[in-house]
Structures are given as structure tokens and as C-alpha cells.
Amino acid sequence: MGAGVCHPDAMHGRWLLFLAAPALLAACGAGGGERHSSAAPSPGAQATSSTRAQAAPAARGVKLTRIGSFDQPVYVAAPPGDTHRVFVVEQSGKIRVVRDGRKRSTPFLDIHDRISCCGERGLLSMAFAPDYARSRRFYVDYTDRSGDTHVVEFRRSGSRDRALKTSARTVLVQQQPEPNHNGGLVLFGPDGLLYIGLGDGGGANDQHGSPGNGQSLGTVLGKILRIDPRASSGRAYSIPADNPFVGRSGARGEIYAYGLRNPWRFSFDRTTGDLTIGDVGQNQIEEVDFARRGRARGVNYGWRVFEGRRPNFPDERASGAVAPVLTYTLDGGNCSITGGVIVRDRALPSLVGRYVYGDYCVGKLRTARLGAGSATGDRSLGLAVSQLSSFGEDARGHVYATSLDGPVYRLTAR
């Protein structure tokens, strides 16, 4: 996504001037001459696991409440147990604090001088350590001046509203062969470990490496990683012994799940620990992958052999590939999935237990009930966010949606 350069079409391979958007984030896709379909959506299109309604009423009692305006917001998070603060990540390099509903004038962290922005680059997410109240540790994911991915640990200062920029400690660096498909999410799972989403390296058809990075266990690109980010025994991080590929010759032990194109946003159900991944497609299909807690361990989600359920390289194999539970086409103006969260906010009874997600270009919020192997009841919420870049949750489980136009909204009771 980015700085007037990456049209949503670039999520699927075409770099165009997009004057209406100041930035188009890491949900962007291929780059490099592909084209996408422009037909209109149809129920059950492309073997989707849930029928998309052509029209649906707004969810009962749900509305969007604006909490403030920011500079290209791309993520919302909060420390465990802190019910007073919400942190908004700005792609341009700052993290802002909203305390008791009011935006603080001084940034929590400002690293604009360390990053490249924008396009699909920039400061892309943050995650608070489970023991943040004691350790003050948090992590950010950004692309540096050369466009490479950095996961960096920082610590909060004595003030709950300020970080110590000088506390930076690099955890992981990954070279990026292209300016797109950077992934960009860091997120602590229910096991207390840090999960990191990385795209396939960019370019059309996962063109780097053989047979593409998504299917190669020798690279972390096209994967979700699982690590303990704390420094240990002179190493920047440690690899959990129960990771699926630990000890396998030629495989990176950090890998938790693979066969992904650009997992821009994924989430853990705060009640069950189930994992949901919104994986950005290429020419035709956007997908949602889902696994019960711990069941995504070692799973191959099929890219580049499959785009959604559609064979993309029919002559190649993706061993044991698991199909998405929900797909949709690029018809009707869709361009790139913005993965969301399973709602647990009891103030929104019509949404509790349902997955909320959307598409960057269309901006319409949708909801579905996800299960192992299938999704049901996929419908529109009757709400829309322009340039829908991300979703997030606070310590109470309230759900937020961000717009690259600047606004950040909370889903609230009508």
C-alpha cells in the first residue's frame, strides 16, 4: 500500500498511480504485470465455503464510532489489562496513545527516521508482551530505509504514555526482494509466544526461489513464524522446541505455518485461541484461513500452487495443502482482503463469536461464523470504512477498524 503509488490493483500485480489514496499498505499484492478480474460478485463464486449475500441489513445494534484521526493508521492494540489506553500505529512511523478517549499530543514512539514509507512499507504493527506491566517490553514490525523487514523490541519509559526509543533491540531482520508482500503483523498468541507474518517476497506468482518461497521451508518468506522474542544465550530470540520443523534438515525452525502469499492481518480468538488468517490473493481470489487452537502448527495453506481453492500452478504440488474456509472474488470493486478478528465484545451481542473482516477497496465490513473446514452466514454489516487498512482490539475486547484516510473507528452498540 502506499504513498500515492500502489493502487489496490498492485495487490494483484499492477502498479498504478492512485491519487485518491495517500498510502496503500502491506495488504497490497503481487506487483509485476498481472491483471485481475473486473466482473461482479456472485453467490458461492469460486468454490467459496460460504454464500455471500447480495444485500443484507446492518447487524442489529452496531455502528461505527470515531475515536480520532491519525496519519495513515494501520493497526490498533492495547497492553494486557490496561483499560485506559489504546495505541494506534501510523504507517509513517509513529505510535499514538488514546487515553480515556483523548489522543495524546506527544507520540508514544517516533521512529519515522528509521523506516521507509509508504507503499507496502512503513511502521506496520506493534505487540505488547504478555508481561508488559512488569517488563515494559513491546515489539514493532517495520521496513527499514532499504525496505527490509525488522522486528524490534522496545521498552516503555517510566511514563505509561512514552516509550524509550534508545531501548531498541533488534530481534529479527529479513531481506525483502521486492517492495511489496511484506506481511507486517506481530502478535502474541495464547501461548505467550510471538507470531510474525511475512509475505512471499513480492512479485507476481511467488517468483523468488524455487518453487517459490511459499512452499519452501528453507526461507521464512510466505510464512507465519513463532518465536520467543526475548534474548537468550547470546541470541536475539529463541525457537520453541515444539515448532513443527525444528530439527528438519533444510527447514527454518521459526516456521509455524506456510504456503501463504501475504498474511497482512491474522488474529487469535481471545476466548478460544483459534487462529484466523486473512491472506491477500493475486489475480482472482481473496481467502480466509482458519484453525482451532494449535491446529495450524505445520499447516500448508497452498500458495503458490493454489490461489484460494483455484489451481494456480496445476503442474506443481502443495503437499497436504489445507483449503481456506472462506473465499471471495475481486468482482464488484474488491481488491484485497483486510483480515479481522472474532468478536468477543459482549456489548455487541449480534456479533459475539463471529469473524469481522473487509476489503481494502470496497471498505464494506462483513461478518461470518468460522469453523474447522467451513464458514457460514457470511453477510454484510451494512457499515463501511474507506481504505480499510486493519482491525484491532483493546484490553476489553472492543473492536476497532482503521482507515488510511485517517479515521479510526470502534464498533459500538447502536
Domain membership of residue 386 (yes or no) is no
Question: Rounded to whole angstroms, how far apart are CA atoms 40 and 132?
Answer: 47
Say how many CA atoms lie within 13 Å of 327 toward its Cβ: 19
3-state helix, strand, coil in the chain (%, to 5): 5, 40, 55
Indicate the pTM of the whole model.
0.90
Q: Answer whether residue 398 is part of any domain.
A: no
Count of residues for the chain?
A: 414
375 in a domain, yes or no? Answer: no
Phi, psi for residue 256 in degrees, rounded to 5:
-105, -45
Taking 60 as the threshold, does the pLDDT of residue 47 lie above it?
no
Domain interval for residue 275: 8-39+69-342
- Which DSSP symbol is given to 144? B
Segment 341-359, tens digit of pLDDT? 999 999 999 999 999 999 9
Q: Would 272 be classed as within a structural domain?
A: yes
Q: Which amino acid is at 312?
A: N
Q: What is the CATH number of the domain that holds 95?
A: 2.120.10.30
Neighbour-count burial for 281-313, b at 16+ CB within 10 Å, e otherwise:
bbbbbbbbbbbeeeebeebbbbbbbbbbbbebb
Among 291, 220, 293, 231, smallest CA distance to 260 is for 220
Residue 206 forms part of a structural domain = yes
Structural domains in the chain (count): 1
For residue range 68-115, list pLDDT tens digits in order. Answer: 999 999 999 999 999 999 999 999 999 999 999 999 999 999 999 999
E strands, 18-84, in order: 62-69, 73-77
Quick check: is 14 in a domain?
A: yes
* Cα–Cα distance, 54 to 59 (Å, whole number): 15
- Do strands 364-371 and 355-359 pair parallel, antiparallel, or not at all (unpaired)? antiparallel
* Closest C-alpha to 258, from 231, 291, 228, 232: 291
| Residue 394 belongs to some domain of the structure | no
Model pLDDT for residues 107-158, shown as the tens digit of each residue:
999 999 999 999 899 999 999 999 999 999 999 999 999 999 999 999 999 9
Q: Residues 88, 104: contact at Cβ < 8 Å?
A: no
Please check whether residue 168 lies inside any domain of the structure: yes
